[in-house]
Structure 1
């Protein structure tokens, strides 16, 4: 079962490695978006600095105390798969930076994509693409956060 949402496009730079590299502008993981909000609100929402938590080599921000508490309890559940790298690109054997505005919830996991086309192609056969992305993640430095 998967749920999807598409809300816009931002520029992406460089693939995300095994740790969550802070966005160079926002200074936070995944561009300062609350990872729990993707599951609760089904869209990216900017977090606030008063709800900040360090995990996975980066600082994360949240929209409220509840989302922060949920993430603290199970960060590997809410953090994007593949350290934020694009899921479809990984299934094809290479790493691209995932875009926090182009995402899908696939088997209850947050997956980012580099482009709208990549998102569409991934979802057309997501079981096969998940399997291949899981295989390629260690080779590219985009380790799944399972």
Structure 2
């Protein structure tokens, strides 16, 4: 094997294996944007009891993701206490996180448990998650810092 082929083999191997070792972002934003929970207002789940689309004019950068809100009031509430209002596990699907993976969410597949917002991939996944929710929350809490880069935002 000539030098070029050896070099090319190393480059190709590196390109295909590097992503396997990379941590996912602390907040799920999808592949082609930087907006948390599909642009929905995370505070509205608590204050209005339903998913409400956020507005770009009420946007706040937190944990390297843009969080959108439907009003200045909700934006201000979030700024005062982001950990209280942010979706658990960075807005990734709670059921997937329990299994050690990340997955996107459907803003309509939501649930507040013990004052915390949990989102799921879709309503069918959410039905499954409800059957094992308590154990899944424990597993997801363990997995979240292991498969995402959230630790860089936490005080030690």
Give the TM-score taking structure 1 as reference length. 0.76
Unaligned runs of 5+ in 2: 1-23
Name 1:105's counterpart in structure 2.
Answer: 112
Cα 1:33–1:112 shift into 2, 3 Å: same
Which of these residues, 77, 96, 105, is aligned with residue 103 of structure 2?
A: 96
Cα 1:142–1:130 shift into 2, 3 Å: farther
Higher helix share: 2
Secondary structure, aligned partner of 1:30? helix
Name 2:19's counterpart in structure 1.
Answer: none
Name 2:49's counterpart in structure 1.
Answer: 42
Offset of 1:38 from its aligned partner? Answer: 0.7
User: Residue deviations 1:42-82, cap 9 Å, x none?
Assistant: 21111222222111102222111211110000111111111
Q: 1 CA distance for matches of 2:95 and 2:149?
A: 12
Cα 1:125–1:142 shift into 2, 3 Å: farther
Unaligned runs of 5+ in 1: 1-15
Q: 1 CA distance for matches of 2:57 and 2:92?
A: 27
What is the alpha-carbon root mean square deviation over aligned residues? 2.6
Spell out structure 1 runs of 4+ moving beyond 6 A.
Answer: none
Higher strand share: 1
